[in-house]
Structure 1
Amino acid sequence: MTETPVFPRDQAVPRFVAETVLFVFLAHALAFFLHEYSHAVTAWLLGFKADPLALHYGHADIVNILLQREIDENVAYGPIYAAHRDGAAALIALSGMALGNGALYVLCFWCIRRVRPRDMNRPAVRFLFWLALMGAANLWSYAPIRTITTHGDMAEMARGLHMSPWLLLPFVTLPSILAMYSFFFRLVVPNWAWLFAGGPARPVFAAAMTGLLYFGFFGAAGLFGSYGDVCALLSIVSLFVLFPLSVVFCLLATGMGVIGFGQGHGQDGGAPV
């Protein structure tokens, strides 16, 4: 009796790669705008922004369209501090991470875990997976990666709360670590084999993309933007240690799901029930 392979023969790998790239760009844009609009809407609700939709959009070039490099919330923190509303400044700074990233991850996690994947289109669940990654990985890019610095969201939050970034670090890093654990152990492990069934090339490519995005693209944020030595060191660890480890973990997740480490699997490669 021959053992049934975890994955059937490769099918339509180029189409899968194209789908993944498209989903990644779309998920990144959606998560990015949710983050920036969370800042803007919070500032508007607190009376420090006239138009919640008035972001700084930058130039209409291909890099900005694909990666939103020049877009930000367009919130002036100077007048907020001048009005002695430091707590409001801290809340505005926190809102992007908490609402735009944290709440997004929780929503995606709930959808993937509560809705039976077999009742949904598999590519739709894969899009939710990449969107969940964007939420969780964005948290990682702020805490711990860009917390010990003099500018950016975490620096504004520390200033608004009148506390050292070192004191702020554990409070903002804990949710980020919990999201990371949740993503890799409660989304990746039980769902990986089902999400990326169709041949061995699919989980390998998905594992590389997952590690690259989480600990490479987002984890390397401290190397750019003059965030300082601590942020750069954390990014180096993320890029050269956690990135490869996460790829290996995702590849091993196939076996974990098959042996019941997660919630279970189906005949087509690991659908949770």
Structure 2
Amino acid sequence: MWWLVAATLVVAWLTHYVVVIQHEYAHSFMAWITGIKDDPIRIEWGGTGIHNIVTLGDIDEDVDYDKALAAGHTTAAALTAMAGVVIGNGVFYLVARQLLRRPGVAAPPWVLYFLFWYIVHSVGNFYDYVPLRTFAADGDVKNFALATGWSRWWIYGVAGYLTLWAIVDLYRKALPRTLGAAGFGRLWPARAIVLVLSTLTLFVLYALPALEQADPVSVFMGRTSLIVIPAVLIVTWRRNVVSELPLPPGRQTREQRAPAQNASSDAGHELTPG
């Protein structure tokens, strides 16, 4: 499976684009549906700078939330603000997680690997907003809080637990299941590389927007995200690099097949005359 490892950066980059573009168009189409934007296709792509090409850090849904709030369109603004994470990322994340559980998806390893990285970036979008930028001076959480009047502490508490669940699920189920079904098995160096790269993607790439904020809370959260990386790797190393990997139904490792084959061979010898 080394060819999958070699393609990791390309797969991670492409799935990142898919997830971010879904997010922005979920905002844009909801703004159009609720009447606070006239063209759902129009978004701000952010230019051709290397930072934006690599991370899409400057892309924007091109929705004037201040104008919508000033006009009293609070419901439209709230729905638009939440659409990116809830619809653009959340709904498709749940679909991807269900597909990952289906044995038929495990047949082509590249499809499975693409799905896994799609899930990594979906979780990264959750993590980017809550907890990292819950208290930022701009962004979706700020717009949603202004439109609804909800306390950001409530958003931090409720959505924070959901994000924590998604992160734990990523390391406990999604990653080992992907590694096992894709055939990484005894390739512990490859397993280690995928674990490290997915962790850096989640805790570095998605911490960058928080680190770029002006408020000290967001910067603190972003720096904390970087600090916890060694702890995350230590806690998740055994399950994803050392331990036996889970396999989809009907598939066995070479070691698991060997006893059954030996037993069958022994039985055949016992039934052979002489």
- Tell me, what secondary structure is at the counterpart of 1:258? coil
- 2:36 counterpart of 1:58: no
**Where in structure 2 are the equivalents of 1:149-168 lying within 5 Å?**
149-168=136-155
Determine the C-alpha separation between the residues in 1 that align with 2:88 and 2:120. Answer: 13
Question: Alpha carbons of 1:268 and 1:141: their partners in 2 closer, same or farther (altered >3 Å)?
Answer: farther
Per-residue CA deviations over 1:6-28 (Å, capped at 9, x if unaligned) read xxxxx6x4x44431011000000
Q: Which residue matches 2:238?
A: 252
Show CA shifts across 1:86-120 (max 9, x none): 122111111111112211211110111124344x2
Contact 1:29 1:66 in 2 (8 A): no
The letter of the residue matching 1:34 is: Q
When residues 44 and 115 of structure 1 are mapped into structure 2, their CA distance, relative to the original with a 3 A threshold, is farther
Alpha carbons 1:189, 1:257 under 8 Å: kept: no
Three-state SS of the structure 2 residue aligned to 1:143 is helix
8 Å CA contact 1:193–1:254 kept in 2: the answer is no
Q: Greater shift after overlay, 215-224 or 74-83?
A: 215-224
Contact 1:188/1:253, CA 8 A, preserved across alignment: no
Distance in 1 between the 2:127 and 2:255 partners?
29
Cα distance in structure 2, aligned partners of 1:249 and 1:148:
28
Equivalent of 2:210 in 218, 222, 227: 222
Secondary structure at the aligned position of 1:251 is classed as: helix
Which residue of structure 1 aligns with residue 20 of structure 2?
Answer: 32
If you compute each CA radius of gyration, which structure gives the higher value, 1 or 2?
Answer: 2
Q: State the distance in 2 between where 1:50 and 1:256 align.
A: 54
Q: What is the Cα deviation at residue 201 of structure 1?
A: 2.5
Checking the alignment, whether the CA contact within 8 Å between 2:15 and 2:117 is kept in structure 1 is yes
The number of aligned residues is: 254
Per-residue CA deviation, residues 167-218 of structure 1 (Å, 9 max, x unaligned), is 3211221221222222222212333334361733211110110110111211
Identity %: 24
Q: RMSD across aligned C-alpha pairs, in angstroms?
A: 2.5
Distance 1:207 1:57, change over 3 A: same
**Counterparts of residues 98-137 of structure 1 (less than 5 Å):** 98-118=86-106, 120-137=107-124
Indicate conservation of the 8 Å contact 1:190/1:257, yes or no.
Answer: no
CA 1:17–1:255: 2 relative to 1, 3 Å: closer
Q: Distance in 1 between matches of 2:105 and 2:118?
A: 16
TM-score by length of 2: 0.83
Q: 1:181 aligns with which of 145, 168, 181?
A: 168
Residue in 1 that maps onto 2:134: 147
Deviates more, 1:247-256 or 1:214-223: 247-256
CA contact (8 A) 2:131 2:156 kept: yes
After TM superposition, give the deviation of residue 70 of structure 1 in Å.
2.2
| Secondary structure at the counterpart of residue 58 of structure 1 | coil
AA in 1 matched with 2:168: Y
**Gap change, CA 1:169 and 1:214, over 3 Å in 2:** same
Of the two structures, which has the highest relative contact order with CA contacts closer than 8 Å and spacing of 6 or more?
A: 1
- Moved segments of 4+, more than 4 Å: 262-265
When residues 63 and 223 of structure 1 are mapped into structure 2, their CA distance, relative to the original with a 3 A threshold, is: closer
Tell me what 1:7 maps to: none
Picking from 136, 156, 160, the partner of 1:169 is: 156
Instruction: Give how far 1:254 is off.
Output: 3.6
1:155 CA displacement:
0.6
1:216 aligned partner, one-letter code: V
**Amino acid in the other structure paired with 1:135:** S
Which consecutive residues of structure 1, in runs of 5 or more, have no partner in the other structure? 1-10
